[in-house]
Amino acid sequence: MTAVEILVDEHQLIKKVLDWGEREIARITQGVAPDAGKLIQAVDFIRNFADRCHHAKEEGLLFARLNDRGLPRQGGPIAAMLYEHDKGRAYVAAVAAALEGAGRGESGSLEALRQNLGAYISLLRAHIDKEDHVLYPMAGRLLGPADQEWLLREFDRLEREETGAGVHDKYRHMAEEFASLP
């Protein structure tokens, strides 16, 4: 498996949680109380898998290597992806901030939760599409076999030393659980 294939596979896991988030937004819109426990898990997944694991591989490793191979960090696709990562973090922070009040049924918090979760999901779906169909194919053209091997080693090191042993598997199982929920 190449480094890009690993990232695409991680996108599939992230989309399972996004799918559940869309179903949760629909329930909230219909007046059903939010599932605070699952929303807390979703925020945990987003922060610790999508951001700390997946985005760390992109930002600290893939984007840096692409920059080394001539793709500018400013004003091009890398800059756009970094901007969207930051924007997504802001949406997730707003979701987390609204959780307590939403759990108590406060209308302003429910609306903030619904709007920010929806904005995050829309942003991330478009973001994943751009990475899978524009940036990653570009990476395939710019990165040689030695770059791919380096990325695989660094992805492995990141997961062992920074993310932590077993964390990737924990979140893979969590994504599968979200996929099985109504």
30 CB-contact burial (10 Å; exposed 0-12 / middle 13-18 / buried 19+): exposed
Phi and psi angles of residue 33, each rounded to the nearest 5 degrees, phi first = -65, 140
**CA-to-CA distance for 152 and 157, rounded, in angstroms?**
9
pLDDT tens per residue, range 14-42: 999 999 999 999 999 999 999 999 999 99
Q: Which of 117, 105, 10 is nearest to 56 (CA)?
A: 10
Query: For position 167, what pLDDT does the model report?
Result: 86
Residue 34 one-letter amino acid = P
* CB of 65 closer than 8 Å to CB of 138: no
What does the pLDDT look like over 125-172, one tens digit per residue?
A: 999 999 999 999 999 999 999 999 999 999 999 988 888 778 889 999
Q: What is the pLDDT of residue 9?
A: 96
What is the SS3 assignment for 138?
helix
Alpha carbons 106 and 99: distance in angstroms, whole number: 10
Q: Is the pLDDT of residue 60 over 90?
A: yes
Angle at CA of residue 116, ends 106 and 94, nearest 5°: 75
pLDDT at 129: 97
pLDDT on residue 168: 86
**The pLDDT of residue 133:** 96
Residue 182 confidence (pLDDT): 87
For residue 99, what pLDDT is reported? 94
pLDDT of 63-120, one tens digit each?
A: 999 999 999 989 889 999 999 999 999 999 999 999 999 989 899 999 999 999 999 9
3-state SS assignment for residue 72: coil
